[in-house]
Structure 1
Amino acid sequence: MAELITTARPYAEAAFNFAKEKNQLTQWSDLLNNLALMAADATMAKLIANPSVTNENKLSVFAGVLGSDLTNEAKNLLVAMAENGRLSAIASVAQLFEQLKIAEEKRVKAYVVSAMEPTVEQKSNLSAALNSKFNAEVDIEYQVDQSLICGLRVKVGDWVVDNTANTQLQKLRAAIAN
């Protein structure tokens, strides 16, 4: 996975810089997500990985599915990736592009897992705290996991706060075991 991210980074950055310059971040985001969905299809993944299929044939499949949504600039991106044997990294390109877009828009994605559905007031308080901490607009995705017993886990990128009862019990077990 790390290798694909490294391979995809220059393509994602080039696409992002072009899209930003043309004020087309949303359009490119949608296009790259569509390309990633196509590449994730099992049949398409086999086609991309098949060395006996020419790059022209691979590109014609993308063009055939996307039709007029495939701009000349996007086609140039696919051609460059195909010529360098990097079409398998298209999902990583889309992922990195999305991260760059979110950072540009000063937005952050947070994932919150709690034992119970938080109240509107709790959601509002958490949103305000995260917006302040990250100095950005935080989009929060909530999930309920009753096995946590109580508490919540908040994850934003690499930053994680876990004050669930399960985690506290595991720490207590480890302390007692030592």
Structure 2
Amino acid sequence: MAGVSSESLTAALVALEAKLPNASLQLATELFAILGTVDSSAGLRRALTDPSRSGKEKSELVTQLFSGKVSADAVEIASGLASSRWASARDIGDALETLAASVVIAVAENKSAVSASGITGLEALENDLFTFNQAVDSSHEVQRALSEPQASQASKAALAGKLVPGASEEARVLIGQAVSQPRGLKVTKLVSRFAELAAKRQQRWIATVGVTRPLTEVQTSRLQAALNALYGRELKINMNVDPALIGGIRVQIGDEVVDASVLARLGQLQRQLA
């Protein structure tokens, strides 16, 4: 997805963020259901992506189709997508899929408790998706069963459940979606996409800290406290000792970089002198 479609998806993800702290799996399943309806009708896809129709017209069409059938939040999200611009008819479906998966991932992220094995809900979700793909890739018989066009969605979902019997509820939703609506992709390819979304979201809360020499325990504690206060949550710190920085510190959290290293300041000076 590129160009205008990418811009529309980015805007939709930003708008979705406000709903994610209280998101539920029900919202995700509703969005996946809307996706199923959109995917089943080429005429509807064309109507929702027709550049000659106003965003208001397209938004109202979604509201008419789904109000009373799904929650107000699901209607709002889908109508928001419809009001945006899309380069191709398929792109709006891809965006719906991404938003629905993002809701599932946020539900896993919002789990406050860490499991007995010491991993978070997001880490558990990624592990379950990886385990499923490993199980599928290791068996040609399973691959054939999941790609069999005559097999029912229920039978495929049942088979998928047997491959990862201890999977979290969030993983079961995403795996179930992949086996029932792969949307022209291999099941494992779609599951990998979901795993990439989960990894990307988890990366938002990992602070990669570059220093010239190891910090003391006291310095690490102070840095941890400062970053937690700045971002309003407990961050995981990955420390990277890099003598090339010369001095100072470099912190990266997701796409955000705070570079207070001597190397960065030298680079700024060099650009000023050029």
Amino acid at match of 1:11: A
From 227, 238, 243, the equivalent of 1:141 is 238
Change (3 A) 1:147 1:62: farther
Write the distance in 2 (CA, Å) between the matches of 1:169 and 1:79: 52
Greater shift in the superposed pair: 24-33 or 164-173 = 24-33
Q: Could you tell me which residue of structure 1 aligns to residue 182 of structure 2?
A: 85
From 30, 34, 37, the equivalent of 2:127 is 34
Write the distance in 1 (CA, Å) between the matches of 2:168 and 2:191: 16
What CA deviation, in whole Å up to 9, does each residue of 1:100-140 have, x standing for no partner? 7899xxxx432211111111121122122112222222322
What CA deviation, in whole Å up to 9, does each residue of 1:119-169 have, x standing for no partner? 112112212211222222232221111221211111223332101122112
From 147, 172, 175, the equivalent of 1:53 is 147
* 1:13 matches 2:107: no
Change (3 A) 1:40 1:18: closer
How far off its partner does 1:28 sit? 5.7
Equivalent pair of 1:116/1:146 in contact (CA under 8 Å)? yes
How far off its partner does 1:75 sit? 4.3
Amino acid at match of 2:233: A
Q: Which runs of 5+ in 2 are unaligned?
A: 10-93
Equivalences for 1:22-171 in 2 at 5 Å?
Answer: 29=122, 31-38=124-131, 44=137, 53-54=147-148, 62-63=160-161, 65-66=163-164, 68-70=165-167, 74-75=171-172, 77-85=174-182, 87=187, 88-94=189-195, 96-97=197-198, 108-171=205-268
Return the TM-score normalized by structure 1.
Answer: 0.64
Equivalent pair of 1:109/1:140 in contact (CA under 8 Å)? yes
Equivalent pair of 1:115/1:149 in contact (CA under 8 Å)? yes
Q: RMSD of the TM alignment (CA)?
A: 4.5
How far off its partner does 1:8 sit? 3.5
Write the distance in 2 (CA, Å) between the matches of 1:124 and 1:8: 37
Write the distance in 2 (CA, Å) between the matches of 1:172 and 1:138: 32
Write the distance in 2 (CA, Å) between the matches of 1:32 and 1:145: 32
What CA deviation, in whole Å up to 9, does each residue of 1:55-114 have, x standing for no partner? 769868754542x314787545423222322642434434555777899xxxx4322111
Amino acid at match of 2:130: L
How far off its partner does 1:54 sit? 2.9
Equivalent pair of 2:110/2:121 in contact (CA under 8 Å)? no
Change (3 A) 1:163 1:17: closer
Change (3 A) 1:175 1:17: closer
User: Alignment partner of 1:140: what SS?
Assistant: strand
Matched positions, count: 167
Equivalent pair of 2:156/2:180 in contact (CA under 8 Å)? no
Change (3 A) 1:59 1:150: farther
Write the distance in 1 (CA, Å) between the matches of 2:100 and 2:114: 17
Structure with the bigger percentage of strand = 1
User: Alignment partner of 2:235: what SS?
Assistant: strand
Q: Which runs of 5+ in 1 are unaligned?
A: none
